[in-house]
Structure 1
Amino acid sequence: MKDLVLFIAKALVDNPDQVEVREVTGEKATVLELKVAEGDRGKIIGKEGRIIKAIRVIINSASAKLDKRATVEVVE
């Protein structure tokens, strides 16, 4: 999951070197914390949050196939 988020995020931003993904595993779900450069945050979120919603749908579908739960959060 972490590699998938990293791949998608690096393809969307201007500064792919500053993309970081941290995986926090809990009892029931995994949270993938996505950190990008200040200027690229808008590109990851998109208009009305459409891009981050699409990333979450992809991760949700991929994790469901593995019988797990995962979500993506953008951190500052």
Structure 2
Amino acid sequence: MKELIETIVKPLVDFPEEVQVETIEDDTRITYHLTVNKTDIGKVIGKQGRVAKAIRTVVYAAGSSQQKKIFLEIGE
């Protein structure tokens, strides 16, 4: 899943080498924390959050086969 998020986000940003995805897992959920350069945060979120929503939709669909709830957090 980490590779999927990186594959989606890296072409969108100016600094793809600074894209990082951390995984935090517990009993009922998996949280992926996406970190990008400050100047790229707007590109990842998009107008009215459309790009972020699309990324989350793909990630949630890819993870639907798992028994845990999946969350994607975007930060700088």
TM-score (norm. length: structure 1): 0.92
Q: Which runs of 4+ in 1 moved over 3 A?
A: none
**1:69 corresponds to 2:69:** yes
Question: Gapped runs of 5+ residues in structure 1?
Answer: none
Aligned to 1:48: 48
Aligned to 1:23: 23
Aligned to 1:60: 60
In structure 2, distance between residues paired with 1:57 and 1:65: 14
Identity %: 38
TM-score (norm. length: structure 2): 0.92
Residues 13-48 of structure 1: CA deviation (Å, up to 9, x unaligned): 011011000011121111100000000000000000
Question: Gapped runs of 5+ residues in structure 2?
Answer: none
Shift of 1:75: 1.9
Aligned to 1:10: 10
